[in-house]
Structure 1
Amino acid sequence: MTAPSNDAAGKTSGSDTYSFDERTLVEHPTSDDENHEDGRPSAEISERDHDLLESEDERERLLTQKDGISRLFKQAAMFGKGGHKQASPKAKPAKTKNQHGESSSLMYEMEERVGLSSSSASRDSSESDERRMLATTIRRKARRAHIWRRFVIHIAVLVLFLVLLFAAYRLSSHPKPAQTVTMMSNGTSLFAPTTILISLDGFRADFLYRGLTPTLNKFIENGISPKYMLPSFPSVTFPNHYTMATGLYPEAHGVVGNSFWDPALQREFYYTDPNRSLQPFWWGGEPLWVTAERQNVRAAVHMWPGSEAHIGHVEPAYVDKYNGSEILPLKVNRILELLDLPGPLDPSARVDRPRPQLIAAYVPNVDGDGHKYGPNSTEIRQTTSNADTMLKSILAGLQERNLTEIINVVVVSDHGMATTDIKRMIQLEDLIDPSKIEHIDGWPLYGLRPRNPDELKDLYRQLAEKAKSNSNIEVYLRDENMPERYHFSKNPRIAPLWIVPKTGWAIVAKDEFDIKEAEKNGDVYHPRGLHGYDHEHPLMRAIFVARGPAFPHKPNSRVEPFQNIELYNIICDSIGIEPVPNNGTLRLPLKPVGLHTDPETPPNETPADPVESSSFLAMSTMASFSSLVSSASGLEDALSSSHLDIPTNTPTSNTPPAASTTSESWWEWLSHKADEMEEWVDDFLHKHLPENSDSTPSA
């Protein structure tokens, strides 16, 4: 049987077999380039382009979604290498079952593989580029996001750092009170422990018993105080104010007098000359305002001696320069103004205007008038009363601000005052040859520095011999027999040789005051009052009175007398700061020994001022004048024209003057009238007393 031809076979109806050439023509017809791409039919190309477009749209959607990248790679598994969907296995051509079937199928697969390999290379290249571009885009966007995140983090860190820096600045420059400090409210503001320290320079302890200080006496009744406070030796202003501020003896802090010579510096300290007193190297130790500021407690110092010296290179928040002519009401306004400043917890608080917790104010008026007129003069009575009125205004201001039970108030003085008299004076030239002395320190004490140090012992022996015949002076060598209780030997600024006059006595050089000439002329010696003597003498006694939350004692409590080295610790404790080492030992709370009203309390002591011994004869003489008044009309007219109010009852003893107005008027009239009154008395005595009378008016 003859086999059918290839044509016939290929055209047999229903037959699925073709020759190799025919199959090539059928499966791969020739067409124009516009209908083919990479050897694939146009329909397939269109489908691929459509798929590519869809894939690009899908990528864009994925990049704008949170999980775009993950979805992109999930979708990638559903597409072919070229980006179009992979064909189903059914799309593969079936294997022919004719005699050429096996080879034809193999040929088809080989041709298809060849065609796919060429097109795959192109598609792989395009796909690789697309993936690189996509990866680059993703990396860029991720990098931008990372940069923005880092930028935001850095900005946040910078802002936080600035906030912390500002907070640290506020804490360092205007610290808030420690959490352990109890804050007290007056209804409008919170107050940390606050103390007002007021020093009444020259306010003698017995001034409280003259009936001139009702506010201070009431203050004592409501607070705690000793009968008196002892100053330190020498009992003069600058050493004692700095002792109160540091808790150190003068020999320890270095301000050993109102004036002195420093052999190491070869310079002189003189208290009234700022160029010679306000350098920090003079001032040793650490004063209250420095201790407070070092512990972030703000301090205000009003004219306190030494406060302008930049001690320790630490400045208090407020320093008011000395102004001796400032009236007392301005001091009151200044203190209350400082208390009215916003506290650190107030919304209106200002770093440059903090409210101080320590206010130390110096009041020189009593001392000034005590020197000028004497401690028993009419003028000092008025000055003492004015100081009491000042305190009354301060306490009233605290009451108005509801601060009476919140603010501590401490009133002190630095020393007392003794009356001078021309009859209690010693000429320096009668004791020693001034030409042998190079420097004289202090006053009314005399600290001597010989020109020739080898003559020190000889000069001492000479002075000691003079002291045997004059009991009104004492002579000491700094390094040998200076009394231990003075605490006045352990500093080279202390002169090696000292003449210490008795209280109320003064030593003067002839070029300053010639005693014999002054006696002939009836001159009055000035100053009329002096201090600086033995710090334990009753006329040198000072005061201490305290009231406030740091002193939770029964009203009118009494403590034993103490020395002013204790004040530093007391004030530090009252405002919650730790004192540096010092010579004091007292700490708060104070330990009362009873009340001032207890029966066993010592009575108020008014020490005898030395003026009485020299004025008593004059007072007795003036007592005889009253008997002449009734018979001598001329004298009566003279007394009347001088506006003198002479009482008819005259004291007849040396006892201290009573608090009555009559005895005080006699005391004042006889001892310390105004200058024109003194001249009148002097003239009157010269005209009317018998020539053989040894009575002289008091100076």
Structure 2
Amino acid sequence: KFSFETPPLLLISFDGFRADYFTRNLTPTLKHLFECGVTTPHMISSFPSITFPNHYSIVTGLYPGYHGIVDNALFGVDPHNAGDDAPLANKKKLGVNDVGAEWFGGEPIWNTVHKAGKKSAISFWPGSEVPIQGLRPDYWQVYKTNYMKGEKLRIEEIINYLNLPSPERPDFYTFYYNNPDHFGHVFGPDSHEVDEILQYVDSLVIYLLKRLDEEGLLGCINIVFVSDHGMENLKQSPEFHANLASVMDSYPFKVDAVSSVVGHVYVEKEEVPPGKSLLDNFRVCRGGHPFAAWTRQDIPRRYHYTTKRAGSLIFESEPGSKFFKDKLQLRKGDHGYDPLVPHMNAIFGAIGPSFKKGVTVEPFQNVELYNLFVDLLQLPNRAKTNGTIGRLNDLLIKPTSTYASIPQIPPCDSNADAQCLELNPAPLLSATSNFCVSYNAKCRFELFNAASKLSIGTSNPLAKIFLITKTWSLESEALLSAFSPSHANIVRRSKAFEYIQKLIGEYGQKLDRFTVFVGAITDTNNNGLADDADDTKELTHFYIVLQKCKEWAASGFWHCEDVETAEYVPFILPIERKDYNCLKHENYLLRHTARLRDIELLTGFEFNAHIVTRTKLIYAI
């Protein structure tokens, strides 16, 4: 009945559908579709794992800290002025449904579709009611006045759009349903009511498939099912929660806050003397219970949450807890926690003519979806995102994009020249060498592919690699030799340096051999991208990558026989002198794990590893 030049794409979100809900066997139809098409054990939400930020991340490919919708409640001057640099006295709490286009950064996929001369029909997707970049979807609805019309009627609207003549017919569609999230909040994720609504969700999937089949559309369009986050039981006793008064000593300036699982605290004056922190005025040494408190500079970089809109301080609640400005108001369930918390896991599954069949891929972050949508719709243009082009190619029968790598630099041979090592004479690379790569390196080591962030005349190393064995441990001064003298003094005094040395020592007792890759990060504007290469720049973080090979190269050099089987544990570590949260060193370091890709963006290196490995998050150390 239909002949599509490019298969239409239908994106469906079931808000708050936790990945392990599938184990309840209440959604057999949806589960069967996932098994027949492409899926993943779970999809990783963006921080904070909250509805509006994550739905907008799904359609823009940006983390909330980059697109600006940092929570379901925002803090700014007025609905049309975020006023990121405005005085605190001029700001107030605002509902995310009430703010205008000025708050929304990035480019939602429906705008990319429009710029390609195609059409979209959006049914209740967060952000779709706002004229972002001066554009709206071709067909859209106001949530507040239309959400009572019923889900099956909205499915019929999609069917009607698909039956429109070609010039009027949309190419991209969305369908948003606010459950099981709503019932999870009201009754808790383990409630009978959530089980019942899961069965209703499955009935909607059955109805959609039935109608597509009746119209001759089943198998002709691509359908992607997602959720934005999971759901956690909220502890019901007040002692498991915190509010502003319970954490703050007397403070000389005005302070305000926005309640959330991720508490946002705004202070009138953020400047502090050298060696001091905004956290000095707050009672936060609690071992992470019921929260860990961060400044924007020291919050774990894998959260990508350094924007001023998030607050001067961010109080990250532990699972089951929440942060309030004043009065506690508890529901049965909530979300917003670290995306690595298992109950925050979201779902992803897809079927259609462009997808492979019966394929399960490793978990991935939801910021990767925008590029997938561009490829599925064969759009000629795409916006800049936090995703990695080509990351989800394994889902597609005919991938249309490839990852654009950093320009290649020739590999170093065993007699690396003096220009590369900046040593004269150049030593042989051997199992006892400490290989360094400087800003003006002209060759690459096996651990990474390229170094694009180069400068002229800088002699201090940008990175250094050490081989650790049970007979050769890593002394602190050797580790510090990876930094310029001024940077080394800063790293030496940091709490993270103490913790990482302890972890390296523990690994050294358990493993026969592994490598340690270490270097400096200068990101003075907190944008997650490398500053210009200059070792005189202010040090903001340092990075450590631990690499273990399944088999080491027979040549005796420090690289894996098969780099695809190597295991990595990357860290981006702050230079704070004190662990204000009084965490155990394993907990502290786990929070500050990162993707290899994050380190690449902060250094200009490209690691010699598969794209999946380079974008992988670490669940345990």
Aligned partner of 2:194 in structure 1 is 380
Matched, 1:487 2:317: no
Matched, 1:576 2:378: yes
1:314 positional shift: 1.6
Q: Provide the rounded CA distance (Å) in 1 between the counterparts of 2:249 and 2:203.
A: 49
Q: Provide the rounded CA distance (Å) in 2 between the counterparts of 1:574 and 1:439.
A: 44
Q: Which amino acid aligns with 1:487?
A: H
Pairing partner for 1:468 from 283, 286, 303? 286
Q: Provide the rounded CA distance (Å) in 1 between the counterparts of 2:270 and 2:387.
A: 35
Structure-2-length-normalised TM-score: 0.58
1:511-590 matched pairs, under 5 angstroms: 512-513=327-328, 526-551=330-355, 553-554=356-357, 556-577=358-379, 578-587=381-390, 590=393
1:4-153 matched pairs, under 5 angstroms: none
1:21-59: CA deviations, max 9, x gaps? Answer: xxxxxxxxxxxxxxxxxxxxxxxxxxxxxxxxxxxxxxx
Aligned partner of 1:337 in structure 2 is 160
Bigger radius of gyration, 1 or 2? 1
Pairing partner for 1:256 from 26, 50, 70? 70
Pairing partner for 1:271 from 76, 95, 115? 95
Aligned partner of 1:224 in structure 2 is 38
1:102-130: CA deviations, max 9, x gaps? Answer: xxxxxxxxxxxxxxxxxxxxxxxxxxxxx
Aligned residues of 1:233 and 1:534 also touching (Cα < 8 A) = yes
Aligned partner of 1:389 in structure 2 is 203
Aligned residues of 2:270 and 2:278 also touching (Cα < 8 A) = no
Pairing partner for 1:282 from 103, 107, 118? 103
Pairing partner for 1:426 from 241, 266, 282? 241
Q: Provide the rounded CA distance (Å) in 1 between the counterparts of 2:214 and 2:278.
A: 62
Aligned partner of 2:494 in structure 1 is none
1:313 positional shift: 1.1
CA 1:438–1:550 in structure 2 vs 1: closer, same or farther (change >3 Å)?
A: same
Aligned residues of 1:259 and 1:268 also touching (Cα < 8 A) = no
Matched, 1:316 2:137: yes
Pairs aligned (count): 378
Aligned residues of 2:13 and 2:228 also touching (Cα < 8 A) = yes
1:331 positional shift: 2.2
1:674-693 matched pairs, under 5 angstroms: none
Matched, 1:507 2:331: no
1:508 positional shift: 3.3
Root mean square deviation of aligned Cα: 2.4
CA 1:286–1:509 in structure 2 vs 1: closer, same or farther (change >3 Å)?
A: closer
Q: Provide the rounded CA distance (Å) in 2 between the counterparts of 1:398 and 1:589.
A: 26
Identity %: 34
Q: Provide the rounded CA distance (Å) in 2 between the counterparts of 1:412 and 1:285.
A: 20
Q: Provide the rounded CA distance (Å) in 2 between the counterparts of 1:588 and 1:550.
A: 16
SS in 2 for 1:422: coil
Q: Provide the rounded CA distance (Å) in 1 between the counterparts of 2:232 and 2:138.
A: 37
CA 1:449–1:269 in structure 2 vs 1: closer, same or farther (change >3 Å)?
A: closer
Q: Which amino acid aligns with 2:134?
A: H
SS in 2 for 1:229: coil
Structure-1-length-normalised TM-score: 0.51
Aligned partner of 2:47 in structure 1 is 233
Q: Provide the rounded CA distance (Å) in 1 between the counterparts of 2:55 and 2:92.
A: 19
1:408 positional shift: 0.2
SS in 2 for 1:359: strand
SS in 1 for 2:393: coil
Structure 1 unaligned blocks of 5 or more = 1-186, 345-353, 514-524, 594-699
Aligned residues of 1:224 and 1:558 also touching (Cα < 8 A) = yes
CA 1:399–1:292 in structure 2 vs 1: closer, same or farther (change >3 Å)?
A: same
1:403-445: CA deviations, max 9, x gaps? Answer: 2221000000001110112236324222225986533135111
Aligned partner of 1:301 in structure 2 is 122
CA 1:268–1:289 in structure 2 vs 1: closer, same or farther (change >3 Å)?
A: farther
Structure 2 unaligned blocks of 5 or more = 76-81, 397-621
1:451 positional shift: 3.5
Aligned residues of 1:566 and 1:585 also touching (Cα < 8 A) = yes
1:635-684: CA deviations, max 9, x gaps? Answer: xxxxxxxxxxxxxxxxxxxxxxxxxxxxxxxxxxxxxxxxxxxxxxxxxx
1:272 positional shift: 5.0
Matched, 1:496 2:312: yes
Q: Which amino acid aligns with 1:280?
A: A
Q: Provide the rounded CA distance (Å) in 2 between the counterparts of 1:222 and 1:469.
A: 45
